[in-house]
Amino acid sequence: MPILFEVQDHIATITLNRPEAMNSIDPATRGELHEAWKRIKHDDAIRVAILTGAGDKAFCTGSDLKKTMPPQESFAELTFGRAESDHLLAGLDTDKPLICAVNGYAMGGGMELALACDIRIAAENAVFALSEVRIGSIPGAGGTQRLPRAIGASNALLMLLTGDRVDAREALRMGLVSQVVSADALPGAARQIAERIAGNAPLSVRAIKRLVHSGLDMPLPAAIDTERYVFGLLRDTEDRIEGRKAFQEKRSPVYRGR
């Protein structure tokens, strides 16, 4: 199977499962990823998701050029003529947190997958690059927009305009990833973060993610007003009351997402 999808304790783990092809994305993988994005978004049992790759060489090296032929349709047909987009990240608009565990190469579309996640941690052997400029193209899955927002314009343009590769330590320095761990420790480190998130109040987690992402495109006063409004919405939820009771009673809270 091109991807593996598992759910345990409110945590979904999506594993790109083509290690023989550096976990590159062929049409079958793309289709299964679209289904995975839908399931994450709509399955209430899922509170947080981890995206990673099988094997120890690559997270994802982008499109499998051996199996991905140029589309026969015009760009207009692809954009306006389909009920659903075939774009790699179509459907990945969710308030649920996404953690990317980068094991090895994250190149082209693979790096753009990582950029679309909220938290990125990397193995010591991770390598990042958006090298499309070297073949007369540009990153087409959000790379030119998400990378500057993640690491600032200067570092982003250095990567985008040269197409150079960045190792895990440099990625950490630039803020592209939050942690660097050994390859053996990577799955456990991602799982520990996911467990801490999944143990928090689901409505609060989703509200925080939405506020952060929407606030980046707002003037600060408008973003503060939106934050205040969302605080009011959450103030009387059952989970907020449960959190306070659990604190007073010195026990772990039991959150239900309501």
Same domain, 181 and 223: no
User: What's the confidence (pLDDT) of residue 215?
Assistant: 94
Tokens for 127? 């390598």
Same domain, 9 and 64: yes
User: What's the confidence (pLDDT) of residue 250?
Assistant: 85
Q: What is the domain range of residue 224?
A: 202-248
* Average pLDDT of the segment spanning 202-228: 94
Is 255 within the bounds of a domain? no
In sequence order, what are the residues at sequence separation of 6 or more whose Cβ sits closer than 8 angstroms to the Cβ of residue 106?
Answer: 58, 59, 60, 61, 113, 114, 126, 127, 128, 129
Same domain, 192 and 210: no
Is 234 within the bounds of a domain? yes
Tokens for 236? 């009387």
- Of 124, 132, 242, 249, the catalytic one is 132
**Residue 11 above 90 pLDDT?**
yes
Same domain, 213 and 148: no
More confident residue, 66 or 34: 34
Same domain, 163 and 224: no
Contact 99, 121 (CB under 8 A): yes
Percentage above 90 pLDDT, the chain: 74
pLDDT tens sequence across 138-164: 998 899 999 999 999 999 999 999 999
**Residue 202 above 80 pLDDT?**
yes
Residue 195 pLDDT grade (very low, low, confident, very high; cuts 50, 70, 90):
very high
Is 258 within the bounds of a domain? no
pTM of the model: 0.89
Considering its fold, how many domains does the chain have in total? 2
Percentage above 70 pLDDT, the chain: 91
* Average pLDDT in the chain: 91
Same domain, 190 and 230: no
pLDDT tens sequence across 75-125: 666 666 665 666 788 888 899 999 999 999 999 999 999 999 999 999 999
Residue 232 pLDDT grade (very low, low, confident, very high; cuts 50, 70, 90):
very high
84 catalytic? Reply is: no
Same domain, 176 and 230: no
Tokens for 239? 């989970």
- Of 32, 112, 170, 195, the catalytic one is 112
User: What's the confidence (pLDDT) of residue 254?
Assistant: 87
User: What's the confidence (pLDDT) of residue 79?
Assistant: 65
Same domain, 187 and 225: no
Q: Cα–Cα–Cα angle for 103, 109, 114, nearest 5°?
A: 45
**Residue 73 above 90 pLDDT?**
no
User: What's the confidence (pLDDT) of residue 91?
Assistant: 81
Is 152 within the bounds of a domain? yes
Same domain, 19 and 131: yes
132 catalytic? Reply is: yes
Q: Cα–Cα–Cα angle for 203, 141, 143, nearest 5°?
A: 90
User: What's the confidence (pLDDT) of residue 63?
Assistant: 81
Q: What is the CATH number of the domain that holds 206?
A: 1.10.12
Same domain, 154 and 213: no
Q: What is the CATH number of the domain that holds 14?
A: 3.90.226.10
Same domain, 191 and 227: no
In sequence order, what are the residues at sequence separation of 6 or more whose Cβ sits closer than 8 angstroms to the Cβ of residue 61?
Answer: 22, 23, 24, 105, 106, 107, 108, 110
* Burial classification of residue 33, based on how many CB atoms lie within 10 Å of its CB (0-12 exposed, 13-18 middle, 19 or more buried): buried
51-55, 72-76, 111-115, 221-225, range with the lowest pLDDT = 72-76
- Write down which residue in 198, 217, 238 finishes a domain: 198
Q: Report the C-alpha gap between 126 and 59 in whole angstroms.
A: 8
Same domain, 48 and 110: yes
Is 256 within the bounds of a domain? no
Is 20 within the bounds of a domain? yes
* Average pLDDT of the segment spanning 207-219: 94
